[in-house]
Chain A
């Protein structure tokens, strides 16, 4: 794991070291310029102060110490251009040059030279540039060394400060860790620095959404448990009647009832699971190109056997090749539920028409039955979980249309309920979003 504190500390120290280096460099160059001016002046003074006549270092009154300390050298040329005096063999390579200041490189050294024509001679005063660099470097070191010595102390102070400030993260971690799974209230943001605020905000947002879905889940579980009581009650009574039956006829009737009761409970549980499994949103991986023609044909074909038991004539009126983006399995459940409802609500020998068509770039699946229909006032409530209309056909779980709504929402499709154009039945339309 990477430590934020260590990394911050390293970065700050690196910046400090770079700062010290840069300021030393600045000091070096500034000192170098000043040293240059100073020594150039000295070169000129030495040249000007040389006594006239034949030259002898001692007689010139030149401070030899000074000459030695600062590594000055002297060359004197005759009128004819001949070297008549040289204070130091190291400068033997340097030829007579033009008057004024110049910088010359020899094999081993660079020289700063002041050359001047005097009445009877030509004088060159020389100094190696290294002397000047050493002076400038000395000035730079005098700045950088105390700063560098401060570094460990600074590092410690920064480290401690970081530890104190980053403690807020540790406190946040403790605040979150100390919670049990049900305490989903928001983390108080007063005690935390503003840098952590975005983290706390998104954490609180997540907690809020978690609490919401947990509430929904609780309500769903409570509803589900409540709804399971009814089929369980029926099963319990039916099994007791089967137990009591003392002749074959009674027993046969009782067991047939019991089977119906079990089928109803199984259906309710199936529907509960279907609803629980279908999250309000489809993930991208669940989306595919769905061939509505295949879907409608297959579902109508499959449900026709159930319809035949009630002598209901179910048919596909029109089914062009149409495609939508969606989840085929979910859409099959949606269509199956709608057809099941139509079969359950239709009278014996009823008629159910399924139509697939496209209007204004939208695919529409339409299911029309000739059952009793649903009054306009009730057309929203029928989508509520566990709502069953008074006098509605037996065998429903009260969940079918809730599942249909959930799956339609997943596909951004709208559901329309209205009257069948002929007779009293219901027309259901699933209208998919524009392609």
Chain B
């Protein structure tokens, strides 16, 4: 899950970024409203985490412009303004949810997961695929009820692929989901994670479409 965080307060931004990354999310952080539009055009995010009181372009303005471009990106607003009108204005402008400062890190992560899940059209927070079961909140993966130990990156790759079975994700897209800005990506990093996943879950779980990318097929092979 790749999140774009827009927060001008350095301490809050730093803590949110660290906290969400501990939850396995990839977090890119902007401190200025003016840079948001460009970032959304250039990179694929799963959700936008937006502080309303920003220098430069205001949070509300960013929401309106994003929705005006028909961008369905889930938007979670964090605001210090607890007046109901402010929250209503945020939601009416097109935000999906809001949190009032001071907020809890776990709640923030849970709300983000829920927003992304709803955006992908699922209701059940758990992702089940045949005998494979993935819990996005606890990062637990089980195969035939046997817990499987995955690294954070391996989990993120599997999560991204299971989010939309049958949909081929390019290597670049997977890298985007895994690595924020400023992280050096080794050229074969994705291949290493795929290799590890196949070793733990079975060779056939992830299929390679040569020249296109990777896919988890809609029906999982029971023999895997």
Binding between chains A and B: yes
Interface residues of A (CB under 8 A from B): 226, 229-238, 240-241, 244, 257, 260-261, 264, 390-391, 394
Given A241-B19, A244-B22, CB of A234 within 8 Å of CB of B104: no
In angstroms, Cα B14 to Cα A391, docked, is 16
Interface size on B, residues (CB 8 A): 23
Q: Please measure, in the bound complex, the distance between the C-alpha atom of A230 and the C-alpha atom of B11, giving whole angstroms.
A: 9
Beyond A390-B32, A391-B55, whether A229 also contacts B102 by CB under 8 A is yes
Residues of A within 8 A of B55 (CB): 390-391
- Distance between Cα atoms of A229 and B81 in the complex (Å): 9
B26-44: CB near A (< 8 Å → 1, else 0) gives 0000011000000000000
Interface residues of B in 89-138 (CB under 8 A from A): 101-106
A238 touches B15 (CB 8 A): yes
Residues of B1-30 contacting chain A, CB below 8 A: 8-12, 14-16, 18-19, 22
The answer to whether A260 and B11 touch across the interface, beta carbons within 8 angstroms, is yes
Name the distance in Å between A370's Cβ and chain B's nearest Cβ: 23
Inside 8 A of B18's CB, which chain A residues have their CB? 241
| Chain A residues whose CB sits within 8 angstroms of the CB of B189 once the complex forms | none
Are B102 and A240 within 8 A (Cβ)? no
Whether B211 sits at the interface, judged by CB under 8 Å, is: no
A230 touches B104 (CB 8 A): no
**A240 x B12 contact (CB < 8 A):** no
The 9 closest A-B CB pairs, nearest first, are: A390-B55, A237-B15, A234-B11, A233-B102, A233-B101, A229-B80, A236-B102, A240-B105, A229-B101
**Assuming the A-B contacts A230-B80, A233-B101, A391-B55, are A240 and B10 also in contact, with contact meaning beta carbons closer than 8 angstroms in the complex?**
no
Q: Give complex CA distance A135, B69 in Å.
A: 120
Q: In the complex the two chains form, what is the Cα distance from A238 to B104 in whole Å? A: 10
A391-B8 Cα distance, complex, nearest whole Å: 8
Q: How far is the CA of A174 from the CA of B105 in the complex (A)?
A: 56
CA distance A257 to B12 in the complex (A): 10
Q: Which residue of A lies closest to B80 (CB)?
A: A229
- Chain A residues within 8 Å of B184, by CB: none
Chain A residues, Cβ within 8 Å of B182: none
